[in-house]
Amino acid sequence: MDLSSLPGQGGQAMANSLLPRLHGKRVTLRRPIVSDIEDRLASGRHAEIIRMYGGDSRNLESYTREDATAWYQAFLTQPLAWVIEHEGKCVGNARLTVTEADKRARYAIGIFDTSKLGQGLGTEATRLILDYAFKNLGLHRVDLRVLEYNTRAIACYEKCGFVKEGLEREGALVEGKWETDVMMSILEQEYSSLRRSGWEHG
Ligand SMILES: CC(C)(COP(=O)(O)OP(=O)(O)OC[C@H]1O[C@@H](n2cnc3c(N)ncnc32)[C@H](O)[C@@H]1OP(=O)(O)O)[C@@H](O)C(=O)NCCC(=O)NCCS
C-alpha cells in the first residue's frame, strides 16, 4: 500500500471509509458508524480509565451526548482509526498515526466499556492492527508510550510483542504526583519472527 495515499499522511484527503475491516475471533475492527455514538455514551467516563491516560480522575464530570458525538466526529478525521466491536457493540477504539518517511507508526488503544477490560480483547485488537501495520502498510516499526503504573496495558503490549525500550522519567504530573512513561516498540523483523513461531494475530 502506498502510505502517501492515506489522508493526513501527506497524501490526498479521503474519507476513512476506505479503512479495512479487520476480523478476529472475538473482535472486529472497523470504521465508526453513527450508532457507535450510543455505545460510547452508554460506556460513560470512568476514573479507572481516565487515570490510565494520565488524566485527573478526581471530580469527573459526566460524559454527555455532546462528548460522544465529538468523539465520533474526531474519528472521521483520522485515517487509521478503528472502533473495536465486540458482540455487536462498540467497546473501544484504536489507531495508528503513521510517519511515512520513517515507515513507523505510533499506536494507541482504549477500551471504554469497563466491563470488557482484562478479557483479552485489547490483545486481540492490537495483534490485528500489528498484522495490518507490518503486512499491509509495510511499516518497519510501531511504537507507543504508556504510563508505568498502567500494568494491565503493559502486560497486553508485551503479549503482542512490544518490548520496553526506555523510560521518560517523571514526565507526567498525574493528580499531583510525578509519574514515569514507558516507551515500547516492536520492529518488523521481531513481528515476523513471532509469526514464524506460530503466533496468532486474531
Ligand atoms: C490497555 C487495554 C487496551 C488492554 O486491553 P485488555 O483487553 O484490557 O487487556 P488484555 O486482557 O488483552 O491483556 C491484559 C493482560 O494483563 C493482565 N492484567 C489484567 N489486569 C492487570 C493488572 N492490573 N496488572 C497487570 N496485569 C493485568 C491480564 O491478566 C492480561 O494478561 P493474561 O491474558 O496473560 O492474563 C485496556 O485495558 C484499556 O483500554 N485500558 C484503559 C485505557 C488504557 O489504559 N489505554 C492504554 C493507554 S497507553
d(CA 25, ligand 1 centre) in Å: 18
How far, in Å, CA of 196 to CA of 97, rounded? Answer: 26
Residue 124: how many CA atoms within 13 Å on its side-chain side?
20
d(CA 63, ligand 1 centre) in Å: 23
Residue 10: per-residue pLDDT: 39
Region of residue 59 (phi > 0: left; psi between -120 and 50: alpha; otherwise: beta)? left
**CATH of range 3-142; options 1.10.20.10, 3.30.360.10, 3.20.20.70, 3.40.630.30:** 3.40.630.30
pTM for this entry: 0.93
Cell numbers for 122: 485489547
Identify the residue whose C-alpha is closest to ligand 1 atom 13. 156
Identify the residue whose C-alpha is closest to ligand 1 atom 18. 152
pLDDT reading at 3 higher than 70? no
Task: Write down the domain spans for the chain.
Answer: 3-142
Q: Are 156 and 122 in contact (CB under 8 A)?
A: yes
Lowest mean pLDDT among 2-11, 93-102, 174-183: 2-11
Mean pLDDT of the chain: 92
Residue 61: per-residue pLDDT: 92
Residue 59: per-residue pLDDT: 85
In this prediction, residues 106-131 reach a mean pLDDT of 98
pLDDT reading at 13 higher than 60? no
* Atom in ligand 1 nearest the alpha carbon of residue 110: 39
